[in-house]
Every structure is written in structure tokens, then in C-alpha cells.
Amino acid sequence: DQQVKQNSPSLSVQEGRISILNCDYTNSMFDYFLWYKKYPAEGPTFLISISSIKDKNEDGRFTVFLNKSAKHLSLHIVPSQPGDSAVYFCAASRYNTDKLIFGTGTRLQVFP
Amino acid sequence: GAVVSQHPSRVICKSGTSVKIECRSLDFQATTMFWYRQFPKQSLMLMATSNEGSKATYEQGVEKDKFLINHASLTLSTLTVTSAHPEDSSFYICSARDIQGVGYTFGSGTRLTVV
């Protein structure tokens, strides 16, 4: 049972444009969400997070939006840069538990 | 920032042997350590959660006798894959949380190949 899903396995965006990565979840008990960037054969690198009491969090070029009613979150990267090319994972956790449940990942390619 | 050192980064072993993977928190006390496994082009799947000084809690479907987790100190956790088989070949990653429970710091991962 995949509780966190990223339905787009890949995304290709031109440099300078906006990248939008989407994530859906099924468990309404999740209340904390994170986005990670990952290169092959490396551990994930934390990008940005959001708690369920907010609907938006921004950090530089990265903005995460949370729509609790739709159980959907998205990561916006603007402007996209070639160095952003990687696999992006969303992850979710429940209140009072430390466990992170990861989505299936989206491979982002930013081309010049 | 917080750093988790994971070793080895890559290991090849023969079928039937055991392999130990170490994760050390370098500048903080890791009260909780998580172990994940990632098959090619798939998500990171949580295998188990360990708290320092207590037994690990395994996720459904993960064999605790095959994947031995030790978290004897606040800076070191180990995962031992016992009697490894080719189907255990995967990318294993640890993640640590400190006593404040703020953030998750990931190790750099271990690529295990069982031949």
C-alpha cells in the first residue's frame, strides 16, 4: 500500500522556467511533509518541509504548497537550473511518530 | 550541520556471508536511527527503527533475524545482513534523529551486491 505517491516518474524543464513536482498521499493522519533531492548512490538531501498547519512554505527558489483537503502537495522550483537535475522524493510523517514514508520519486531534468 | 557517516559505501560479498553496515553520527547524539532500503528506480522503503539501547522495531515483511540492527550507543548504529542472498542486493541508507527530534540526517548510503 503506497501511502505517498508521485505519479510523474519524470519531468523535463528548460533552464530558467518553473519546475513543479507533485505528490499525493492517502493517510489523513500525516501532518508533516518533506521534500528531498537525491543523486544516484548517495543519500537524500533535505530541501524543504511543511507542517499541516500551513499551506505554503518558501525557501529561496523552493516553495512547497500543501492542500490538505486534496491530500496533495507540490514543490515549485523557480528558476530551474541544470544543477537541479536529480530525483526528488516527497516524504510524510504522522504526529507522534518519527517514521518517514517516502514517495516513489520524480526524476527532474533541467536542460539548457 | 549534522552529519551521518555511513560505511562502507560499496560492498560486494558472496552469497551466504554476512555484511555489516555502520552509521555514525559525527556531531550529534542520534537517539533514533532509521534504516531504509532502495531497489533500483524505486522508493526508499523503511526497514526498521531503532532507539538507542533498545530493540529495533521492524516494518511488516522485514525479517528481523536476517537484518540485525544494533544501536548500542548514541553515535553508532549497525545493520548486519546475515546469510546474504542475491535478492538482498540493494542500496541501504540510514537516517538519524537527535534527542530534540528535529530533522532527519541521512547517511550517504551503501550499495550492497551479493554474488
Query: ∠ CA B65-B66-B69 to the nearest 5 degrees?
Result: 75
Residues of A in contact with B93 (CB under 8 A): 43-44
CA atoms within 13 A on the CB side of A42: 11
The DSSP secondary structure of A49-62, one letter per residue, reads EEETT-SEEEETTE
B103: confidence class by pLDDT, cuts 50, 70, 90 = confident
Name which of B23, B43, B77, B97 to mutate to probe chain A: the one with the most chain A Cβ atoms within 10 A of its Cβ: B43
CB burial class (10 A; 0-12, 13-18, 19+) of residue A68? middle
**Closest-CA residue in chain A for B97?**
A98
Q: What is the pLDDT of residue A96?
A: 57
Residue B17: other Cβ atoms inside 10 A = 11
Give the pLDDT of residue A2.
80
With the C-alpha atoms ordered B56, B58, B62, B64, is the resulting torsion angle positive or negative?
positive
* pLDDT per residue as tens digits for the range B18-55: 999 999 999 888 889 999 999 888 889 999 999 888 88
Mark the ranges of chain A whose per-residue pLDDT is less than 70. Answer: 1, 95-97
Task: Please write the tens of the pLDDT for every residue from B52-97.
Answer: 888 899 999 999 999 999 998 889 999 999 999 999 999 999 999 8
